[in-house]
Amino acid sequence: MKLQIHELKNLITKKMSKNLKTIALIAIVILAVSCKKDKNVNPTIAVQDLQVSQGDNHSMLILPDGRLFGVGLNSAGQLGFSTPELAQNFRFSVNNIKTVAAGGFHTLIIDKDNKLFVMGRNDKGQLGDNTTDLKKTPTFIMDNVKAVDANTFHSFALKSDGTLWATGWNTSGQLGTGSDVSIIQFSQVLSNVKAISAGAEHTLVIKNDNTLWAVGSNGFGQLGTGTTDQELSFVQVTTDVKAISAGSYHSLIMKNDNSVWACGRNQFGEFGKGMYSTSNTVYEKIMDDVKSFDAGNGNSFLIKNNDSLFVAGYNASGQLGVGDERPRRSFVGLKDSVKTVISSGSANSASTFIITLSNKLMATGLSTSYKLGTGTTTATNNFTTITLPN
């Protein structure tokens, strides 16, 4: 509207009764103040959830404003800066990051423009830049990436068009290329994909039609195919799946009814059903009414719809957070008001993070190379609150 504020004021003064004039003038003052403020307001910036990802000896943290921090071992530049080689507390890395995945000694990040950057160790080609040279600062790889995952020596990138790309160590066929030959450059391995989870030597994928596909090592039945035969190309396993997590040697999936199912190794009680078994080649239900979950190195972590955390399995380093180092072969209800749990499918990791509904970060287990962010290398067997960087 082109009529100016002072013109509107004059019009009201001439045409309105005294009481109406007063009300209208108050409204004009409010309007004027609002217009003045609007000229200086910055565009709304989207706020994301707190995120954590852990590698073998380092951890990465994204604050809601998109700032990335790293803690722990940095010998290959996996934290995103050249020095120091060891960060005892979370240290700033880069801005404008929305997703992170920590591998063994490398890190993948997606910025807010959906660009993929990589840093760290690269001896197996896990950075996918067609070299084996380590990168001590973030190095651009490709555009239009919406999700990433990594394990000790290999990496995956899921592009916005649903194509899945893989690189790195492939001795068990975990990349899904059709062979067990390792590669040093990201190569497309599948299409129509909407979710990816990288285990130690096997991989799980959900396609757009909610079918589950798996590939790689299968010595414990972790692919869920009904055999222990290795697969070099992705094979369809089941349907109606909406979430996945590949542990070191077992797998967890969530069906559309929010039930969680497990297959693979149950040597430490990973299934939480009160018994041990070394090989389970088909999925079996382990819990209903689950909101989210994570499969770790010999253990399982489930958050129910009421936000309570349940844990089971391997616990030699206190990574279950139950106050001791004894394994649990049945699920133990541990904490309430939990939003996210972050374990690691690496066979070399023994720590766990949780994020509460109030965005508090907590951790338990080994703190090798200060990776828990507690400022110490002392292990803990209870979830300890981590001070977030400013």
Q: Per-residue confidence at 40, pLDDT binned at 50, 70, 90?
A: very low
Residue-wise pLDDT tens digits, 155-197: 999 999 999 999 999 999 999 999 999 999 999 999 999 999 9
Tokens 């008001």 — which residue?
Answer: 337
C-alpha to C-alpha distance for 180 and 169, rounded to whole angstroms: 9
pTM attached to this predicted model? 0.87
C-alpha to C-alpha distance for 154 and 100, rounded to whole angstroms: 15
C-alpha to C-alpha distance for 153 and 253, rounded to whole angstroms: 23
Tokens 């995956």 — which residue?
Answer: 156
* CA dihedral over 338, 247, 221, 276, signed as positive or negative: negative
Residue-wise pLDDT tens digits, 308-332: 999 999 999 999 999 999 999 999 9
Range 61-64 contact pairs with CB under 8 angstroms and sequence separation of 24 or more: 61/90, 61/361, 61/373, 61/388, 61/389, 62/97, 62/98, 62/99, 62/100, 63/388, 63/389, 64/359
Q: Which two tokens stand for residue 38?
A: 């609007």
Output the pLDDT for position 35: 37
Residue 14 has pLDDT above 70, yes or no: no
> Per-residue pLDDT averaged across 11-24, rounded?
44
CA atoms within 13 A on the CB side of 65: 8
Q: Which two tokens stand for residue 142?
A: 């490709």
**Cα-based angle 21, 26, 28 (whole degrees, multiple of 5):** 95
Residue-wise pLDDT tens digits, 98-118: 999 999 999 999 999 999 999
Output the pLDDT for position 79: 98
> Per-residue pLDDT averaged across 35-51, rounded?
48
Residue 44 has pLDDT above 60, yes or no: no
Tokens 């399995």 — which residue?
Answer: 313
Residue-wise pLDDT tens digits, 294-311: 999 999 999 999 999 999
Residue-wise pLDDT tens digits, 333-376: 999 999 999 998 777 889 999 999 999 999 999 999 999 999 99
More confident residue, 313 or 24: 313
Output the pLDDT for position 47: 55
CB 355 within 8 A of CB 340: yes
Residue-wise pLDDT tens digits, 243-295: 999 999 999 999 999 999 999 999 999 999 999 988 999 999 999 999 999 99
Output the pLDDT for position 346: 78
Q: Which two tokens stand for residue 328?
A: 């649990």
* CA dihedral over 33, 38, 40, 45, signed as positive or negative: positive
Helix H or strand E segment including 18: helix 18-38
Task: Work out the number of other CB atoms within 10 angstroms of the CB of residue 288.
Answer: 12
